[in-house]
Amino acid sequence: MATVRTRRAREALTGLAFAAPAVAVFAVFMFWPLIQVFWISLQQTRGFGIAKWVGLQNYQEILSDKIFWTALWNTALYTAISVPLCLVAGLAAALLLNRRMPARGLIRAVYYLPAVISGVSSALIGAWLFNEDIGLVNRVLDVVGLGPVPWQSEGVPALLSLVAISLWIGLGFNMVVYLAALQGIPREVFEAARCDGASRWATLRRITIPQLGPTTFFLIVIGIINSFQVFDIVYVMTGGGPGNSTTMLVTYAYSAGFEQRQQGYASAIGVVLYLIVLVMTIVQWRVNKRRDVA
Amino acid sequence: MTRYRLAFAITGAVAMLFPVYWMVVTAISSSADMRGPGLHLWPTSVRWENLTDPLSKFPYGMWAVNSVFIAVVAVVLTVVINLMAGYAFAKLRFPGRNVLFILIISTLMVPVQVVMVPQFHLVVDFGLIGSDWGVIVPRLAEAFGLFMARQFMMAIPDELIEAAQCDGSSQWRIFRTVVLPLCRPLIAVLVIFTFMWRWNEFAWPLIVLKDPESYTLQVGLLFLKNQYGQDYGSLMAMSLLSMIPMIIVFALFQRHFVEGMARSGIK
């Protein structure tokens, strides 16, 4: 009896010791900041001067802050265009590359390659390709007789150029996840459909896409959460411009906190962002749970 | 049908590669060629000034050294921390294990921008502003790697560990001689992904690093963008240089990337 107890106690001690470094860094650099951000969001700080307690004033300011609402709208619009595009393109690529073909591994790797290129480098390519005056996209559009498009001087084209780069970056991840999911669909289902004389299109619509439902749902949630955090490509490619037409929630929070040095206000924006992401996570969790029960 | 598929797939691959190809063309062409009239999709002459000019004017070598230092130190520390914690959360019973694990995993969804102000205050308080360590330390809290480590180690049979225990080995010894040798695929994935995240990271080093000499490559590229304006030749050349380590890692461990990503997706 005593030996069992001492062995348990020793296991608990070693367990704590093994987990200790991770728990320490998470406690200091994650859990504590997550508590503190609420605290800081109730203060007014200008520069690095002493913080002043202002209660909910930052949140009140957010409600009447036009730029905040613009940023929220831009983020939502960017998400609404970019997520479905990446999803459809990723699915198409996965269906295309699921069959045997020569050099399949290499072709898959090429589709995935942009995902390992840094956001800054991707944004620089984007800024160059979509340069309004001398960029390749406008030159080609000019030759075809469709251009030039004001990619840098008007809001909607600027947002679309960001979407194009996000598609280039995000397609590979969606493809890889869909490819893995396609492997999981039992072969018999497809064979049965073929025996019943189902067309390719019917098989895709009635079998493949419904079978991929959980994967699609997962990719939508991950896509939305990632899109709400898009920073690197926006900051480097458009800098939120022209005007504030591509300012996103996170670039606005960054500029409030570290360019205008209103860290209380930036934290309040952070808290709002946190709540948005939290709600989406809870939705995902509940849907998954319901599906597991069903 | 198969032929059409292949044609489609190759067209797609060409489209995906084209931006990188265009970077190369821009990097080796003179800026006059790129601005001049007429549309060329290939280089008309090869010049190296886009490479030599920025390298002689800006501390690019320092940025590369900083990036390598930050990525290597961060990878070593993060992977060790996550392997140890993964073992504890997967195989050892201790009080508070489940609560701690859930708390750590819940930070997966937290956007960096939510905690950047408090994290910045911490880095200031620790006196790490402007230093490589200020970039490295807050990012050691890496929930995704910890999650992958725990999932992988759950699959290791308990009998192996118990057998080693009966031989009288200490837990540390079991971890080193029994568990880690079984974790090679896991370690590969953790190293590759952590390296990629740290090498490509931009927002946090932008906040922490103030002096241009202390920049990483990613922050340095933004600095160059502001210096060169519309002259994209040098910018593309420097951007390409900064991508080389990542592209080599990807070419070597491409399978691990794809498998790691797919695994994160299925769950």
Most A CBs within 10 Å, among B91, B113, B209, to test the A interface: B113
The mean of the pLDDT values for chain B is 90
Find the CB nearest B113 among A116, A225, A270.
Answer: A270
Count of beta carbons in the 10 Å neighbourhood of residue A12: 16
Angle between helical axes of A213-227 and A66-98 (0-180°, round to 10) = 140
Inter-chain CB pairs, A–B, below 8 Å: 282
**Would the CB atoms of B262 and A177 count as touching at under 8 Å?**
yes
Lowest mean pLDDT of A48-52, B24-28, B131-135, name the range: A48-52
Residues of B in contact with A12 (CB under 8 A): 92-95
Name the CATH architecture for the domain at A57-293. Orthogonal Bundle (1.10)
Domains of chain B, each with CATH number or no CATH: 59-266 (1.10.3720.10)
Taking the whole predicted model, whether its pTM rises above 0.80 is answered as yes
pLDDT in tens, B59-85: 999 999 999 999 999 999 999 999 999
Which DSSP helix (H) or strand (E) runs through A110?
helix A104-112
Q: Which of B139-153, B165-179, B249-263 has the largest mean confidence?
A: B139-153
Most A CBs within 10 Å, among B50, B63, B99, B117, to test the A interface: B117
pLDDT in tens, A265-285: 999 999 999 998 888 888 877
Q: Are B243 and B196 in contact (CB under 8 A)?
A: no
Q: What is the structure's pLDDT at B137?
A: 96
Q: What is the structure's pLDDT at A49?
A: 64
Q: Are A227 and A84 in contact (CB under 8 A)?
A: no
pLDDT in tens, B203-237: 999 999 999 999 999 999 999 999 998 889 999 99
User: Nearest-CA residue of chain B relative to A230?
Assistant: B111
Q: Would you call B80 exposed, middle or buried from its count of C-beta atoms within 10 A (0-12, 13-18, 19+)?
A: middle
Q: What is the structure's pLDDT at B267?
A: 39
Phi, psi at A19, each rounded to 5°: -80, -15
Q: What is the structure's pLDDT at B196?
A: 93
Find the CB nearest B202 among A33, A119, A133.
Answer: A119
**B57/chain A closest Cα distance in angstroms:** 20
Q: What is the DSSP letter of A46?
A: -
Q: What is the structure's pLDDT at A53?
A: 87
Q: Are B8 and A106 in contact (CB under 8 A)?
A: no
User: Nearest-CA residue of chain B relative to A8?
Assistant: B93
Higher pLDDT pick, B109 / A68: A68
**B223/chain A closest Cα distance in angstroms:** 10
> Which of B77, B40, B245 minimizes the C-alpha distance to A24?
B77
Q: What is the DSSP letter of A247?
A: -
* Separation CA A284–CA A279 (nearest Å): 9
Q: Where are the domains of chain A?
A: 2-34, 57-293
Q: Would you call B144 exposed, middle or buried from its count of C-beta atoms within 10 A (0-12, 13-18, 19+)?
A: middle
> Which residues sit opposite A251 in a β-bridge?
none
Residue A63: partners with Cβ closer than 8 Å, 6 or more residues away: none
**A156/chain B closest Cα distance in angstroms:** 22
Q: Residue B256: is its pLDDT beyond 80?
A: no
Find the CB nearest B117 among A115, A181, A266.
Answer: A266
pLDDT in tens, A171-199: 999 999 999 899 888 888 888 888 888 88
Instruction: Tell me, letter by letter, the H, E, C secondary structure of chain B.
Output: CHHHHHHHHHHHHHHHHHHHHHHHHHHHCCHHHHHCCCCCCCCCCCCCHHHHHHHHHCCHHHHHHHHHHHHHHHHHHHHHHHHHHHHHHHHCCCCCHHHHHHHHHHHHHCCHHHHHHHHHHHHHHCCCCCCHHHHHHHHHCCHHHHHHHHHHHHCCCHHHHHHHHHCCCCHHHHHHHHHHHHCHHHHHHHHHHHHHHHHHCCHHHHHHCCCHHHCCHHHHHHHHHHHHCCCHHHHHHHHHHHHHHHHHHHHHHHHHHHHHHHHHHHC
**B110/chain A closest Cα distance in angstroms:** 7
Q: What is the structure's pLDDT at A73?
A: 97
**B124/chain A closest Cα distance in angstroms:** 11
Residues of A in contact with B6 (CB under 8 A): 101-102
Q: Are B17 and A171 in contact (CB under 8 A)?
A: no
3-class DSSP state for residue A41? coil
- Judged by a CB distance cut-off of 8 A, whether residue A68 touches chain B is no
Residue A26: partners with Cβ closer than 8 Å, 6 or more residues away: B103, B104, B107, B141, B143
Interface predicted TM-score (ipTM) of this complex, two decimals: 0.92
